[in-house]
Amino acid sequence: DAGVTQTPRHEVAEKGQTIILKCEPVSGHNDLFWYRQTKIQGLELLSYFRSKSLMEDGGAFKDRFKAEMLNSSFSTLKIQPTEPKDSAVYLCASSLSGLGQDTQYFGPGTRLLVL
C-alpha cells in the first residue's frame, strides 16, 4: 500500500510569493493533518480534517496559511504571502478514523526555504 505522498520534497520561494504544497493521504484514511516542524518550535499542528471537514485551522496560522481538502485523496496547503520565518519542514499525516487514537502515518515532508 502506498503511504502518504507529499510534493514537492523541496521548495525555495522568494518572500511574498504564494506556494502550494500537496499531500495524498493513505487510501481509505479519514483524518488528515498538516504540521510544521522546526528545531525551535518542534511539531506544530496547522490543520486537521476529518472526513474532509476542517476540524482545526491552527489558530495562529490562520492569516497566511490555508489548507483545503478537495477530495478524500488530496489536500493542499497554501502559504500566501510567504515570509522567511515560514522556512521549515511541512509534514502531512493521515489516520484511519477519529473514533479512536489511531496511528498517524506521516509523509516525508516538504522542506521549504523562504529567502
Partner 1 sequence: QQQVRQSPQSLTVWEGETAILNCSYEDSTFNYFPWYQQFPGEGPALLISIRSVSDKKEDGRFTIFFNKREKKLSLHITDSQPGDSATYFCAASDSNNRIFFGDGTQLVVKP
| Residue 11 exposure: Cα atoms within 13 Å on the Cβ side | 27
Query: What CA–CA distance (Å, rounded) separates 33 from 26?
Result: 12
Retrieve residue 29's grid coordinates: 484514511
Which of the stretches 11-19, 43-51, 58-66, 70-78 binds partner 1 when contact is defined by CB under 8 A?
A: 43-51
Q: Which of 65, 95, 112, 114 binds partner 1 (CB under 8 A)?
A: 95
Comparing C-alpha atoms, which of 3, 19, 15, 16 is closest to residue 111? 19
Q: State in angstroms the smallest separation of the CB of 69 from partner 1.
A: 16
Q: Which of 58, 68, 73, 108 binds partner 1 (CB under 8 A)?
A: 108
Which of the stretches 13-21, 58-66, 70-78, 104-112 binds partner 1 when contact is defined by CB under 8 A?
A: 104-112
Retrieve residue 56's grid coordinates: 482545526
- For position 100 contacting partner 1 by CB under 8 A, the verdict is yes
- For position 53 contacting partner 1 by CB under 8 A, the verdict is no
Comparing C-alpha atoms, which of 19, 28, 24, 20 is closest to residue 6? 24
- Which residues of this chain interact with partner 1, rule CB under 8 A? 4, 31, 42-43, 48, 50, 56, 91, 93, 95, 98-109
